[in-house]
Amino acid sequence: MARKDPAELVNGSAEQSGTRGAPSAFLEVRDLKIHFPTDDGLVKSVDGLSFQLERGRTLGIVGESGSGKSVTSLGILGLHNKRNANVSGEIWLDGTELVGASQNDVRRLRGRKMAMIFQDPLSSMHPFYTVGHQIVEAYRVHNDVSKSVARKHAVDMLGRVGIPRPDRRVDDYPHQFSGGMRQRAMIAMALSCDPELLIADEPTTALDVTVQAQILDLIRDLQEEFNSAIIMITHDLGVVAELSDDILVMYAGRCAEYASVDDAFHRPLHPYTWGLLGSMPRLDRERSERLMPIKGTPPSLINVPQGCAFNPRCAYRDLNGDKSTTERPELVEAEPGHQVACHLPLEKKREIWESEIRPKL
């Protein structure tokens, strides 16, 4: 897999964000907003998100529950009901704009050009139909083939994702599969039409660590084979570090930091990213006496704090005077290929990371 310089990609996005028209990137999301009007107020689940992704590369979207990562992925697939969600912005997939496209056009792309692996395969597969039936159905929607050809394809796919004796397991029901096998079947279904964009929403969260390792390997192998673009949505920084090329850290519906995987782990610039890294007990380090949690809890998306959404939990907000509570920091390119939304001056951030955060990790 050819690794492009992430700096180049992110640079591109900064330059293009003002322009209109089809972008050169395979997937480009520009200023995506997904708001849900509710009785209690407007829930701004995603509030101005931009990123881009090339074929063969993986973007990791990290954040806590309620940060808007899953809503983003459903938005890309066009799975939000227009009646209860306000979607705005632009999503360009291989030259086609999806936000303004008709339901039918998006449906034609969904499953063939882009597909999704859901977190919980037991609730996302139909319990009443055999696994094979469900893969055959997905395949025949997009391909004009006979049932027997589609079934042969389903068996092929199941074999490809490492299910033993696929010719027999194809007639099993989802409940007859173990958790890891079900996730493999789910991946087989998602890949049945060779999608160019694969969105994996917490694909391994429900799985045991040994099975997780198998699934991550599988996703990596399949990416090399199909050269798909992958969006990996997870809260597990370990999974992101293993698979991703770029990382987008989300907080309260917005991007806090967007960088190459190397920058995000070795030179992170946002206090929230520091907090996430400090919260995790790590097997690859000496055991620290104490973890460094982020104080407080993620905010409600109806009442996002004024100014920087992270300010009530940020240990460094006082360094900015009252800027943090009054002015929302824009996502700016702090270093080549490294975007961050934080009021702290860059030098100060580098200093804090080197002197205060890094030694304690």
Partner 1 sequence: MTGNETVSTDKTTAEGTTVPAADSAGDARPIADGEPLLEVDGLGKHFPVTAGLLRRQVAAVKAVDGVSFSVRKGETLGLVGESGCGKSTTGRMIMRLLDPSFGKITFEGEDITTMSQGRLRPLRRDLQMIFQDPYSSLNPRKTVGAIVGAPFRLQNIKTENGVKRAVQDILELVGLNPEHYNRYPHEFSGGQRQRIGIARTLALKPKLIVADEPVSALDVSVQAQVVNLLEDLQDELDLTYVVIAHDLSVVRHISDRVAVMYLGKIVEIADRNDLYERPMHPYTNALLSAVPIPDPAERGERKRIRLQGDVPSPLDPPPACRFHTRCWKAQDICKQVEPPLVELSPGHEAACHFPENTTVSATDEVAKAAVAPAPGTTAADDPAPEA
| Shortest spacing between CB 157 and partner 1, in angstroms | 19
Of 191 and 277, CB closest to partner 1 = 277
Of 86 and 123, CB closest to partner 1 = 123
Tokens matching residue 305: 């704090």
Q: Which of 210, 162, 165 is nearest to 186 (CA)?
A: 162
Of 292 and 319, CB closest to partner 1 = 292
Q: Angle at Cα 11 formed by Cα 8 and Cα 15, nearest 5°?
A: 135
| Shortest spacing between CB 81 and partner 1, in angstroms | 26
What's the DSSP call for residue 177? Answer: S
How large is the C-alpha radius of gyration of the chain? 21
User: In sequence order, what are the residues at sequence separation of 6 or more whose Cβ sits closer than 8 angstroms to the Cβ of residue 176?
Assistant: none
B/e letters for 6-20, b = 16+ CB within 10 Å, e = fewer, are bbebbebbeebeeee
Of 32 and 239, CB closest to partner 1 = 239
- Residue numbers of the site for partner 1 (CB under 8 A)? 64-65, 164, 178-181, 208-214, 216-217, 235-242, 261-262, 265-266, 275-284, 287-288, 290-295, 297-298
| Shortest spacing between CB 209 and partner 1, in angstroms | 5
| Shortest spacing between CB 1 and partner 1, in angstroms | 12
Of 17 and 214, CB closest to partner 1 = 214
| Shortest spacing between CB 241 and partner 1, in angstroms | 5
B/e letters for 279-308, b = 16+ CB within 10 Å, e = fewer, are eeeeeeeeeeeeebebeeebbebeebbebb
Binning the chain into helix, strand and coil, the percentages to the nearest 5 are: 40, 20, 40
Of 194 and 262, CB closest to partner 1 = 262
Of 99 and 277, CB closest to partner 1 = 277
Cβ-defined contacts of 180-184 (< 8 Å, 24+): 180/207, 180/208, 180/211, 180/214, 180/215, 182/121, 182/122, 182/125, 183/117, 183/121, 183/207, 183/211, 183/215, 184/158, 184/215, 184/218
Residues 153 and 164: their CA atoms lie apart, in Å, by 16
| Shortest spacing between CB 181 and partner 1, in angstroms | 7
| Shortest spacing between CB 23 and partner 1, in angstroms | 27
| Shortest spacing between CB 88 and partner 1, in angstroms | 28
Q: Angle at Cα 175 formed by Cα 153 and Cα 114, nearest 5°?
A: 45
Of 78 and 299, CB closest to partner 1 = 299
